[in-house]
Structure 1
């Protein structure tokens, strides 16, 4: 029995190297797992479940093939794909999770999340996040013609990229006190998240005693996979093997 975790793939047609690495992972590694958790930012940007492009359908078919084999797949929305919804879940066979979810990992309780909400110093981003997560706003956006949504998203992406260049790395990293607060709230000694693109294993003290925070890496230059089983865990990289 093995549980896998991935995040921050940022899949897009413009990065076929990442897509090929992901597909190789799905066909040769994920099929042997019991469960697969995708902790957000699977896509560079998900415009909506009405995206029926060849690229979108290809990725969805990979997950559908995996769930049909009996591998349980779970999805936590990230800051790039917060519009992934029920239609996507139905078409892939995946289960959508809340922003923070407590799971059992072979007898050890863990809280899993994308990780953006841990960056409390990035006040401007959290205000933006609060706005775009308004149900009424998403309801309206989901009913706009797809080609118009694409233009809106393109503008948002440009603005985000420009703003990110002016932010310090500290602002975009997690706030230690918030990490402890979330772990204490859920009474766990293990946290798993992505978002920061800083793969690492951190040891810390919480109300539960000695605790661990595992940060998943992005897939910009190589894959990043957390393998967890009854014997422990291994945060490993997966090299790109394609030109």
Structure 2
């Protein structure tokens, strides 16, 4: 049976080797059975530039590259933690970079895929940052700083994000329903797949297309903080799966 895998929100970092190990095992044992693999953002906990070449980033790039050499494509959409990934790392890892909103033909069903952070419009402060971070000048400015300075900025950014998250209501950090419908209508699709919110689920909703109400689905990918969350989609079946971490001493 032909199928495609989707993953997001792995938040890989050197201090969580259990997550990296789970990913590598998935890439070696499971992913080669699929037609393609889509990574919908936040692959890394933080990405400070393609010039940050170290044993950890090299290990991750090599794992993806080895999988890509099986002939199966890997597609990547930026998240809010790794929007500085550029063509250099994509080439090392065997990725094809996609626009932040992309419509794919998924076994006959046009499907909108994205990271999902832009749908959380009730988080006003984050949306202000997102507009700046995805602009033309801010990323260029950040990449002008030396690596040590970018690491410092990234660490402060994570600390601020954790503090803000603890003070926000859950509803604010989730998607805005009206934004979901708007995005799907603009893309003219009845299926949306995204990550970011860390709330894996398959939601049945409705959207108005061509003047009439249509049944639709919003599929949310899970994060990898406690298990490997994977979405498997075929022409007839959609399933959210999990991969368990191995205990590392």
TM-score bracket for the superposition, by shorter chain length:
over 0.9
CA distance in 1 between partners of 2:81 and 2:70 (Å): 28
- 8 Å CA contact 1:5, 1:39 repeated in 2: yes
TM-score, with length taken from structure 1:
0.97
- Could you say what secondary structure the match of 1:227 adopts? strand
CA distance in 1 between partners of 2:108 and 2:96 (Å): 22
More displaced 10-residue stretch of structure 1: 194-203 or 147-156: 147-156
CA distance in 1 between partners of 2:37 and 2:206 (Å): 28
Shift of 1:63: 1.1
| Structure 1: tracts of 5 or more residues without a match | none
- 2:232: which partner in 1? 227
More displaced 10-residue stretch of structure 1: 76-85 or 147-156: 147-156
More displaced 10-residue stretch of structure 1: 228-237 or 23-32: 228-237
- 2:201: which partner in 1? 200
TM-score, with length taken from structure 2:
0.95
CA distance in 1 between partners of 2:246 and 2:162 (Å): 28
- 2:120: which partner in 1? 119
Alignment of 1:65-76 (within 5 A): 65-76=66-77
- Could you say what secondary structure the match of 1:224 adopts? strand
CA distance in 2 between partners of 1:136 and 1:78 (Å): 18
- 1:43: which partner in 2? 44
- 1:213: which partner in 2? 218
CA distance in 2 between partners of 1:199 and 1:155 (Å): 28
CA distance in 1 between partners of 2:175 and 2:93 (Å): 31
1:32 has 2:33 as partner: yes
Report the RMSD for the aligned CA atoms in angstroms.
1.0
Shift of 1:231: 2.4
- 8 Å CA contact 1:118, 1:175 repeated in 2: yes
CA distance in 1 between partners of 2:122 and 2:235 (Å): 36
- Could you say what secondary structure the match of 1:165 adopts? helix
- Could you say what secondary structure the match of 1:8 adopts? coil
CA distance in 2 between partners of 1:66 and 1:23 (Å): 9
- Could you say what secondary structure the match of 2:6 adopts? strand
- 1:6: which partner in 2? 7
Shift of 1:157: 1.3
Moved >2 Å (runs of 4+)? none
- 8 Å CA contact 1:12, 1:43 repeated in 2: yes
CA distance in 2 between partners of 1:239 and 1:205 (Å): 34
Shift of 1:140: 2.1
Shift of 1:163: 1.3
- Could you say what secondary structure the match of 2:215 adopts? strand
- 1:142: which partner in 2? 143
| 1:178-212 Cα distance to aligned partner (Å, 9 max, x none) | 10010011110000000000000000010240000
Alignment of 1:42-191 (within 5 A): 42-191=43-192
Shift of 1:137: 1.8
